[in-house]
Structure 1
Amino acid sequence: MSDTLPPCPECGESYTYTQSSLLVCPMCGHEWAPAEEAEADGTEAAVRDSVGNVLTDGDTVTITKDLKIKGAGGGVVKVGTKVRGIRLISDGVGDHDIDAKVPGFGQMQLKSSVVKKVL
């Protein structure tokens, strides 16, 4: 159907279309994210925020939900806290993929699923 969309990874048909942020195959009903397609090709997938924006080093993001901080200091990073100059990492603890200096808390690692890029 489209020359720019990849074929379905399940059945190989070329009739894929986009629905929201997913690619859909009408032949077999398989749905997948374009990032999954990049990982299947062996290329590194882009890090995306909670709404699907691609993140890069140096971006400014805001926190989208309250984060309880464990450890000696404790505390809570509130929704809407602006974090400047993030750095993407691939060797974070668990699925933490952002290294940043959070105002009032210092250096910490964040998950991309709890931040939103400031456009």
Structure 2
Amino acid sequence: MADLPNCPICTMPDPLLAADGYECATCGHEWLAAPDDGLDDIRDANGNLLADGDAVSIIKDLKTDGKAGGIKVGTKIKSIRLVPGDHEIEARVDGRQLLIRAAFVKKA
């Protein structure tokens, strides 16, 4: 049997499968199945598969808003987090939280 989620209201681990989601057998709460998060296959500039927590290096100078200088080529970023959208990587660079496109990084 597949791992079924707990009820978000009463936290009981006994949901029933419904047509488009789940229904709690204990409290009767209905909720939709978890939507696809859009993080299926995010790859770096070299085609390597990226995952949360990976370390990457910047392959192109990137300009940023608000602070002169931007991010230089070769800057290493530790512990990236993958997010859905057109800028797939969320990371902390020089004390700033930034969103970066996967096409501008390579896996370190």
Q: TM-score, normalised by structure 1?
A: 0.55
- 1:74 aligned residue: 68
**CA RMSD across the alignment:** 1.7
Paired with 2:63 and 2:50, the residues of 1 have a C-alpha distance of 23
Code of the residue aligned with 1:50 in structure 2: it is A
| 1:112 and 2:107 correspond | no
Paired with 2:100 and 2:62, the residues of 1 have a C-alpha distance of 10
Paired with 2:57 and 2:95, the residues of 1 have a C-alpha distance of 14
CA deviations on 1:76-109 (whole Å, 9 max, x unpaired) are 200000000000001x4xx10110011x251100
Identity %: 46
- The structure with the larger Rg is 2
Paired with 2:71 and 2:77, the residues of 1 have a C-alpha distance of 11
Residue segments in structure 2 that go unaligned for 5+ positions in a row:
1-37
Q: Quick one: structure 1 residues 100 and 44, their matched pair in 2 at CA, closer, same or farther if it must change by over 3 Å?
A: closer
Paired with 1:115 and 1:87, the residues of 2 have a C-alpha distance of 13
Q: Quick one: structure 1 residues 105 and 44, their matched pair in 2 at CA, closer, same or farther if it must change by over 3 Å?
A: closer
Q: Quick one: structure 1 residues 108 and 53, their matched pair in 2 at CA, closer, same or farther if it must change by over 3 Å?
A: same
- 1:84 aligned residue: 78
| 1:101 and 2:89 correspond | no
Aligned residue pairs: how many? 71
Matched residue SS, 2:103: helix
Residue segments in structure 1 that go unaligned for 5+ positions in a row:
1-42
Matched residue SS, 1:76: coil
